[in-house]
Structure 1
Amino acid sequence: MLLMPLTFQLTIINHETRRKGVERTIITQATVEIEEPIEEIEGVSTLPEQNCINVDELEIPVMKSGEELKPTVREDEPKPKPWVEVIQGNRSLNRGMAVDFIAPTFVNSKAEITIDESDVSEELEFWENSIILFALGQSLSMNAVKKFMEKTWNFISLPELFYNDEGYFIVKCKNREDMELVMEQGPYFIYGKPVFLCKWTTEFEMKEDLLRVLPIWITLPQLPLHLWGERSILKIASVIGKPITTNECTAKKLRISYARVLVEVDITQKPIETVDIKDHKGKLMEQKIEYEWRPSYSQSCLKIGHDCATKKVPGKKLVQV
């Protein structure tokens, strides 16, 4: 006679009487292996005896009254680390990159550093699909911007996000296509505040560029069909500022009621509302310019977000009776 190990589920029922005569039933299941005697069959191999267990020697755990079930935790399962532990040792020498000394060049007793193309090629490639994000009059957290991207930019892969102490974010898109899709949409708002986006370049400076020159969508309503060519649209948009891109409907002539162009506009200047055009036949016409959104700017205090020349209409005072 041979012993064959069998596996079955063992259910243990334990009754416990709690206060006020309420009875609680605790059911515990356990997987148990026992030996089952079988007859040796010709042509069927049997397991060695060391792989079998004696059911008489098997200890089955029984739940005691008042004992709580505890979840099984794998010892080899990694536990999430808190942020404090993640950045711990950030200044450790063996966690940074090894650096060497490069002798500087002195011109008129002053050090002058020359950066070659090879010195910046990797960084230019790393940041080439990046966008500068800034919300006027709003101090945003990393979490707020991430939620905004997840909800508003769900048509692209979630970009990487970086924060600068000057109050703006750098959004690093996965590829150029994602970056262009983000720039084509908009305008965007976070907590009711306008969000400004502009493509990152090596010439970018927060104070000089972002607070004065802003990317704004303009429309050219009822633009004549023979002026829908690329050069014609660019010539018109260049009167407003530096053209960045058109939307898809304009590029493919899908909606001919108006042309739409994203233009870098100097908001410290008075907005241009019309432009005179002389066509190929010498005909002179006036083209209207519309801004989808434009921030107010005060010529008195030179600040964005309000206009000192605009008089506020006093609201009615509420009198509590």
Structure 2
Amino acid sequence: MNAEPTKKWANLFNSNRMSAKRMSLSYVNPVMKNGEKVIELKKEEIDKAIEEWKHALILYVVGDSPTIAAVERYIALQVNTVSKPKVYCHNDGYFLVQFVNMVDRNEVLYLGPHLLNNRPIIVKVWNPKFDFNKEVLQTVPIWVKYPNLPLNCWSMDSLSRIRSGLGEPLHADKCTMKVDRIAYAQVLIEMDVARELPKKLKVEDPNGRMFEQVVQYEWVPEYCVECMQGSTSQESGIIVHSHKEIKNEATIFYKALLGQTTSNLPSVDINIMKKRGTLNREQQLQLAGPVTREKVKLALQGISDLKAPGKDGLNAMFFKKAS
């Protein structure tokens, strides 16, 4: 009796979706080092993957969890990209945005400060050693203003020296680079928020004259030095650290702000209602009439520009302009 040929598990997947897209994998022998199995990666393979992601940015919306669609709309409103970027959402709460070219990437990177639904957005260039907890929660790019900075200090070299006193200088905004605004210089600096951020810098000019330059921060995240992570504080003053505690604290805050539902509504006194004014027939028909474009536009104009009526984070100003 002839024995049946041995079947390999790999043969079961020869025609599956992965193989059809030419993503099949092959077996590569690991190496043994000091009695342990070690997987060796090749430099050319890693370099090829890095090249594919060199146009990517990391986006993190502080205090909010927008959808991918909301991030895509935000980017589309900020810049006119050659091609629509691909947005990925990571489980840690940040977004990876892959642009087609470096020009589109830098346009978003240099545009800041960024706000989505009135929440600051941390924007960082992706790199192979990126660690969300270390780089986003502790080392944060912050827009810094130098009000009344002497005009003879506005060269890129002098600005680089001054902003290096705070952290790793990244770039200046467009108005500062073109000197379109002289009230203050604004630069983006990568800073360690676990340390106390200085409010003044001592600067010495070539003649030996010393002056103090005031420093203003566009936004500074709260950070707990003890546990080395982002934090918030309760009304009682107790600092909470974990994501679950922070989420619970935010829920309590907004419930108190917006009110809670109740199952025991006060009864309506019909006699009191009868004494009040009533709608005439014309007003009743108007109230029950169709919702027209003019009515929606009129209601929209009554909403504050910075209010966001939906969960996508788009504020009323966007809809006013679009209409």
- Give the TM bin, normalised by the shorter chain: 0.5 to 0.7
Give the whole-Å Cα distance in 1 for the aligned partners of 2:173 and 2:113. Answer: 12
Q: In 2 relative to 1, CA 113–170 (structure 1 residues): closer, same or farther, beyond 3 Å?
A: same
Q: In 2 relative to 1, CA 238–310 (structure 1 residues): closer, same or farther, beyond 3 Å?
A: farther
Deviations 1:256-284 (A, max 9, x none): 33222111122222111111011111111
Give the whole-Å Cα distance in 2 for the aligned partners of 1:239 and 1:96. Answer: 51
Deviations 1:179-213 (A, max 9, x none): 11111222222233222111101111111111111
Give unmatched runs, 5+ long, in structure 1.
Answer: 1-88
Deviations 1:136-178 (A, max 9, x none): 2322222222222223334664311112222211111221121
Deviations 1:107-146 (A, max 9, x none): 1012333434311232222111110011123222222222
Deviations 1:288-314 (A, max 9, x none): 1111122233456755363569969x9
Matched with 1:290 is: 216
Conserved in 2, the CA contact under 8 Å of 1:133 and 1:196?
A: yes
Give the whole-Å Cα distance in 1 for the aligned partners of 2:101 and 2:236. Answer: 43
Deviations 1:8-48 (A, max 9, x none): xxxxxxxxxxxxxxxxxxxxxxxxxxxxxxxxxxxxxxxxx
SS of the aligned residue for 1:220 comes to: strand
Larger radius of gyration: 1
SS of the aligned residue for 1:170 comes to: strand
2:97 equivalent to 1:97: no
Q: CA RMSD in A?
A: 3.1
2:201 equivalent to 1:275: yes
Conserved in 2, the CA contact under 8 Å of 1:241 and 1:266?
A: yes
Matched with 2:245 is: none
Give unmatched runs, 5+ long, in structure 2.
Answer: 1-14, 239-252, 260-265, 267-323
1:199-238 aligned at under 5 Å gives the runs 199-238=125-164
Matched with 1:190 is: 116
2:57 equivalent to 1:131: yes
Counterpart residue identity of residue 174, structure 1? V
User: Among 161, 177, 187, which residue is 2:87 paired with?
Assistant: 161
Counterpart residue identity of residue 112, structure 1? V
Give the whole-Å Cα distance in 2 for the aligned partners of 1:279 and 1:112. Answer: 56
Q: Shift of residue 230 of structure 1?
A: 2.3
1:16-95 aligned at under 5 Å gives the runs 91-95=17-21
| More off after superposition, 178-187 vs 127-136 | 178-187
Conserved in 2, the CA contact under 8 Å of 1:298 and 1:309?
A: no
2:59 equivalent to 1:140: no
Give the whole-Å Cα distance in 2 for the aligned partners of 1:207 and 1:142. Answer: 21
User: Among 116, 121, 132, which residue is 2:47 paired with?
Assistant: 121
Q: In 2 relative to 1, CA 91–165 (structure 1 residues): closer, same or farther, beyond 3 Å?
A: farther
Give the whole-Å Cα distance in 2 for the aligned partners of 1:209 and 1:222. Answer: 31
Counterpart residue identity of residue 148, structure 2? Q
Q: In 2 relative to 1, CA 310–222 (structure 1 residues): closer, same or farther, beyond 3 Å?
A: farther
Give the whole-Å Cα distance in 2 for the aligned partners of 1:207 and 1:177. Answer: 28
Q: In 2 relative to 1, CA 195–215 (structure 1 residues): closer, same or farther, beyond 3 Å?
A: same
Counterpart residue identity of residue 147, structure 2? P
Conserved in 2, the CA contact under 8 Å of 1:214 and 1:267?
A: yes
Task: Spell out structure 1 runs of 4+ moving beyond 6 A.
Answer: 308-312
Q: In 2 relative to 1, CA 302–109 (structure 1 residues): closer, same or farther, beyond 3 Å?
A: closer
More strand by share: 1
**How many residues are aligned here?**
230
Q: In 2 relative to 1, CA 148–253 (structure 1 residues): closer, same or farther, beyond 3 Å?
A: closer
Give the whole-Å Cα distance in 2 for the aligned partners of 1:286 and 1:300. Answer: 31
More helix by share: 2
SS of the aligned residue for 2:121 comes to: strand
